[in-house]
Amino acid sequence: MKKITLTPDQKADLEAHHDASRDGRIRDRIKAVLLRSENWSTPMIAQALRINETTCSAY
């Protein structure tokens, strides 16, 4: 995964979408983006979300 830089507004928007979504896949994608923006590695994100690293990289 490449480095992601989010502005505070972008982060707040993603968090709002996360809270509003009922689709677990969408919520996982948002969590992956937020965690990556906090410099988490792909293996760490995959483990935290309990998904495969390949799936995590696709997000």
Per-residue confidence (pLDDT) for residue 27, from 0 to 100:
97
Position 54, amino acid: T
Residue with tokens 């937020």: 34
Q: Is the pTM of this model over 0.75?
A: yes
* DSSP secondary structure, 10-43, as one string: HHHHHHHHHHH---HHHHHHHHHHHHHHTT--HH
pLDDT in tens, 8-19: 999 999 999 999
Residue spans per domain, the chain? 8-57
Q: Would you say residue 32 has pLDDT above 90?
A: yes
pLDDT in tens, 39-58: 999 999 999 999 998 888 88
Per-residue confidence (pLDDT) for residue 1, from 0 to 100:
58
